[in-house]
A = this chain, B = another copy of it.
Amino acid sequence: MLAQLTTYIADRVRLTDTELQRVLSCFHLLKAKKNELVGRTGEPSRRMFFVNKGCLRVYYIKPDGREATRRFAFENSFSTSLTSFIDGSLLKEDTQAVEPSELLYMHREDFYALVDTIPAWGIFYRGFLEYAYLTNTKRLEDVITLNPRERYQLLLKENPEMVLRLPNKLVANYLNITQEALSRIKSGM
């Protein structure tokens, strides 16, 4: 159950056995049904998720009520609404399991307690921040520099799994276009 998570951590930072056990003991299992929300806009941010199996989708709700997907998290990745997690403020986005998922989560207070008491976990957090910054900024770059067709082609090249695994509707939403537009792009028009 904790095997993937243990590997993920060990690949990134050196913890003693004791520290590792302490870290792992802070994680809890959550099985989420398809389409279940594990984080809701307006709630305080409480949890950091590790995706053991399945897929999470994090999305904003626009003023007109529609959704705008910020990211997907597949197996072996951490995911949380960092902007709220950092300061414990209210969530500004939903987090949804788009497939039946097996999640390991840690409470926010536990997470930062570890950061403050285990130096190596502080390094882990720093690396997490760097990576989160990288991916989000890449996403911003793509949105402001590329048109829909270019965004799709880049996604297909850099992240084919997303296109193959997820329904068109969600891929389109991630690309910030309608599913009709994506359908036409795919058919080569």
Contact = CB atoms under 8 A, between A and B. Distances in A.
Contacts of A146: 62-63
B83 A145 contact: no
Contact of A83 (B82, B129, B133, B143): B133
A86 interface: yes
Sorting the interface of chain A by its residue count into under 10, 10 to 19, 20 to 34 or 35 or more gives 20 to 34
Contact of A70 (B63, B133, B140): B140
A139 interface: yes
Given A62-B145, A144-B68, A145-B63, A82 B137 contact: yes
Nearest to A139: B140
A65 to B, nearest CB: 11
Contacts of A143: 140, 143-144
A103 to B, nearest CB: 22
Closest 8 CB pairs of A and B: A129-B129, A68-B144, A140-B140, A62-B145, A68-B145, A133-B133, A60-B145, A86-B130
Given A70-B141, A83-B138, A126-B129, 10 more contacts: A60-B144, A62-B145, A68-B141, A82-B137, A83-B134, A92-B141, A125-B126, A133-B133, A133-B136, A140-B143
